[in-house]
A and B are shown apart, each in its own frame.
Chain A
Amino acid sequence: MVVTAPARETRATRTRRALIDCDFHNELDSIKDLYPYLPQRWRDHIDSYGTRGTAGGYYPRFMDHREDARPPSGRRSGSEVAHSRKDFLDPYNIAHATLIPLTAAGRQQNGDLDAALATAVNDWQVAEWLDPEPRLRASMIVPFEDPPAAVAEIKRRAHDKRFVQVQFSGRPHEPMGRRKYWPIYEACVKHGLHVMSHAFGSNGNPILGTGWASFYLEDHVGPAQAMQANVISMVAEGAFERFPTLKLVSVENGFAWVPSLMWRMDNAWTLLRSEVPHLAHEPSEYIRKHLYLTTQPVEEPHKPEFFTQLIEQYGDMVSHILFASDYPHWDSDNPDMALPSFLPERIKQMIYFDNAKALFGL
């Protein structure tokens, strides 16, 4: 008689697909979590002056992080690697996850503090996340509004291949294609890093192209518009002409808007290419080659066939859609239900695993 392991365990491990999660949040319980990684000068500064971003850009929300993901210690959800491992990585069979820390770094008025915070966040990621959990990869935090300082941080860190991308907010101070940011892209290409933009954030401009919205609901619908401005800019400025191996990863901005954007840009280009003679190709060619997008929050079409049509519009670019959970935020997607059940198995396997494996060389 063959002895087998208890049925429940084998069933769980055998039937659960291995996933790569491209939006997994590591959180600070408080800024003081960074103190072991900050020089005394900046600890004193934060004690006296706090961290100061552009005032008035924040929309209070009644939902923060998932209460069910809070560690027994009572610290913030997502702030302890051991608990996130037990609560999420293990039960959902996450083969790899990319850390995306949303902290005060990257949006400080004080540029020196911003750079010090970025370095501290990266040191904290190495010591408290990457070292204890080999399945994790990280997004490198840089003071992206100060490109020379950002490049210095990239150089300092580039030897550690567990950093797979450099993180931008969803709404940097200038559209992402502007030449100001090119030294960062140059360093990324040199060191084999992708550029990633995570939704939200505010750097002093109104959060809409029409001024300030009133409600957090509008803030939460807006990332698709913000990211389109960044994609348009990256293409129009010729960033992908100058850096042909650069990849742009869009996180938490949705992905259903991409076909319409490509059509609109291609049409605009037929009329206005004399204004952007540095573009050798149709805009959609750059997008199809360079832009990657994560799933959560998956747009939910009104009829199932509309989703199938969307996948068909993507065509070969379906290899650029990456699964993301957004754990442990309130609106995170349950990996079991993130994609419509009727999607062909081949597509599911690409989105849940293969696409990210290829993109990040995992």
Chain B
Amino acid sequence: MIDCDIHNDVPRPEALFPYLPEYWVEHITNTLFKGPTEPPYPPDAPIAARPGARPDNAPPGSNLDLLCEQALDAPRADLAILNCLYAIDSLHNPDAAIALASAVNDWQSAEWLEKDARLRASIVVPSQLPAQAAREIDRVAEQYAGFVQVLLPARSQHPYGNRLFHPLWEAAARHDLVIGIHFGGSPGNPPTPSGWPSYFFEEYAGMATVFASQVTSMVCEGVFDQFPTLRVALLESGFTWLPPHMWRFDKEWRNLRRLVPWVKQAPSEYIRRHFRLSIQPLDAPADNPRQLLQIVDQLGSEDMLMYASDYPHVHAYDPETVLLQHVPESLARKIRHDNARALYNL
């Protein structure tokens, strides 16, 4: 089994000191910097950590032994991809964002990848600074083994198709790295076209619409026409929203494709070819496997879904009992490992 989405976390800023230039060590010490802004999940919400996943005095996912025991040994995952959600995108000071992203990557290599051969990792980048993000991708890809994707938060100041991001796509394509777009993000601008919601419950339920906007943007701007080998994993996005989104997107493209003449096929064709989705959380109907299987069928491809536990976070359903037990064994195998193996060249 391959688990496409587990989370390691920086226990406290001091853990990065061995990987930071002296200036930033001093700066962090003097300013009492506690780490980037709020984590994507409120730390004590019932969703943030499964029982026993919280080490003493540290955030869940910050202890290698505990993570390996709970996320790898017990479920018997052969490989797992670490997605460190350190909120570099919230740092408005560009030099801080660049320095901390590099430190997190050096820390991931030394303290995670080198310690357990079953782990792979995602490059943390200052996504708000695409040219500098590209430099960090080059640095990490040339220096370390074990990084299989570039991690971006779902929420962003600009949609990812925007040409500002081309240096980032170029770097990912140059090193044949997957782009992983993950739930959350702290860009400072509102997560809905109508401004800020009041509750985390709204952000959690509404994040699928943010993913939908990113998919629309990347296809419309011709990212995949310019970088035909680029692949994107939508992580912790849910997937039942995607078929209706493809239906409307295809229809609007038929009407308005003169605006984007480089988009030569229906958007759903690009989406099936270039996007993959992790299956936790399952935005599934309660007690209705038949309807969920209809949605899987509506995706129009067996190659798109990938198993994920989203350790240490908690979701409503166990994908095993709600989805995997109900699909044909050949599809279950694809979801459990083959699709991820192909995507990440594992």
Contacts and interface: CB of A to CB of B under 8 A. Distances in A.
Given A261-B205, A276-B201, A313-B291, A220 B192 contact: no
Report, nearest first, the 5 A-B pairs whose CB atoms are least far apart: A229-B192, A256-B244, A225-B209, A267-B316, A264-B283
Given A63-B255, A256-B247, A264-B241, 6 more contacts: A210-B156, A212-B158, A254-B244, A267-B283, A272-B200, A297-B251
Interface stretch (B14-22, B111-119, B211-219, B329-337): B211-219
Interface string B172-214: 0000000000000001011111111111111011101110111
B273 to A, nearest CB: 15
Interface residues of A, number: 70
29 contacts: A173-B194, A174-B194, A174-B196, A175-B194, A206-B193, A208-B217, A209-B193, A210-B155, A213-B213, A213-B220, A218-B216, A222-B193, A224-B212, A226-B209, A228-B206, A229-B202, A232-B206, A263-B284, A263-B285, A267-B281, A272-B199, A272-B201, A297-B248, A299-B247, A299-B251, A300-B251, A302-B247, A302-B268, A309-B298
Contacts of B252: 217, 220-221, 297
Which of A171, A228, A275 has the most chain B CB atoms closer than 10 A to its own CB? Answer: A275
B202 A217 contact: no
Contacts of B311: none
A319 B137 CA distance: 52
A209 B205 contact: no
B201 A268 contact: yes
Interface in A148-195: 170-178
A146 interface: no
Contacts of B342: none
A338 to B, nearest CB: 13
B157 to A, nearest CB: 5
B45 to A, nearest CB: 7
Contact of A225 (B197, B213, B281): B213
Contacts of B298: 301-302, 306, 309
B243 interface: yes
A257 to B, nearest CB: 5
Question: Is the interface on chain B under 10, 10 to 19, 20 to 34, or 35 or more residues?
Answer: 35 or more
Contacts of A205: 189-190, 192-195
Given A206-B189, A221-B248, A302-B247, A265 B268 contact: no
A233 B47 contact: no
Interface in A228-281: 228-230, 232-233, 236-237, 254, 256-257, 259-261, 263-272, 274-276
Contacts of A257: 241, 244-245
A289 to B, nearest CB: 18
Contacts of A221: 216, 245, 248-249, 252
B161 interface: yes
Interface string B247-269: 11111110111111000000010
Interface string B144-182: 000000000011111111100000000000000000000
B55 interface: no
A267 B284 contact: yes
B74 interface: no
Contact of B286 (A174, A175, A237, A263): A263
A205 to B, nearest CB: 5
B294 interface: yes
B315 interface: yes
Contacts of B209: 209, 224-226, 228-229
Given A260-B283, A263-B286, A302-B268, A213 B159 contact: yes
B194 A274 contact: no
B315 A271 contact: yes
A49 interface: no
Contacts of B323: none
B314 interface: yes
Contact of B200 (A211, A259, A275, A306): A275
B251 A270 contact: no
B33 interface: no
